[in-house]
Amino acid sequence: MIQTKAKSFVLANLPYEQNALAPFVSAETINYHYNKHHRTYVDKLNELVSGTEFEELELEELIVKTAGHADKAGIFNNAAQVWNHNFYWNSLSPKGGGKPTGELGRKIEADFGSYKNFLKQFVEAGMTDFGSGWAWLVEDQGVLKITKTSNAENPLSQGQGKALLTLDVWEHAYYLDYQNRRGDYLKTILDKLVNWNFAEMNMNICKSIDA
């Protein structure tokens, strides 16, 4: 969905201009996050898989095959971070935020009891992810759940279900705009920028795969 072959990895284009999420996420933050961190993961991944048995694998397969193997930690960390960041950029939209509607909105109400409960649990997951990591909305056997992963880990590597959306809680995702106020960053993204259309698209893909 997000990448092709490991040997041809390129830095995926942002789905919007670098200033499109301002003032909630500044162009400075996007520039630093995307052009420095994300680009470095792509470049390092290409370097690490070149000439190895992994260079022909699709990104998702590469992540699964290297997860949990200490001797492949470099490949895993960079592959997972490429995937995580591609997913994160698509989880945001300048036209996003607010309460989801339609099928996804109804399912959130059913599986979490209310949208308010969902917000509380999602922010708590992001706040309690000690150090660097990610907060995720996933669908696991037809049920929506919130989970969190540390460092480069993601639902693919942890067997936590199919990812619907994610928020990056590494400091470089928010520190220039929010300093140490991670909670404010999470609440603002959910209120103003979260891309519910992307989440619902992923949910429908999960449904077609399970059918």
Structure confidence by residue, pLDDT tens digits, 25-52: 999 999 999 999 999 999 999 999 998 9
The confidence score (pLDDT) of residue 6 equals 40
Residue partners of 49: CB distance under 8 A and separation at least 6: 6, 7, 55, 62, 75
**Average pLDDT, whole number, for the chain?**
93
In the chain, where does the domain assigned CATH 3.55.40.20 lie? 102-210
- Per-residue pLDDT tens digits for 54-83: 988 899 999 999 999 999 999 999 999 999
pLDDT per residue as tens digits for the range 133-187: 999 999 999 999 999 999 999 999 999 999 999 999 999 999 999 999 999 999 9
Q: How many CA atoms lie within 13 A of 100 on its CB side?
A: 24
Q: What is the model's pTM?
A: 0.92
Whole-number Å distance between alpha carbons of 207 and 211: 6
Rounded to an integer, the average pLDDT of 98-124 is 96
CATH 1.10.287.990 region(s) of the chain?
A: 25-90
CATH architecture type of domain 25-90: Orthogonal Bundle (1.10)
Angstrom CA distances, 44 to 29, 41, 57, stand at 21, 5, 16
85 contacts 41 by C-beta, under 8 angstroms: yes
| Residue at 51: amino acid letter | G
105 Cβ contact list (under 8 Å, min separation 6): 99, 115, 196
Provide CATH code, domain 102-210: 3.55.40.20
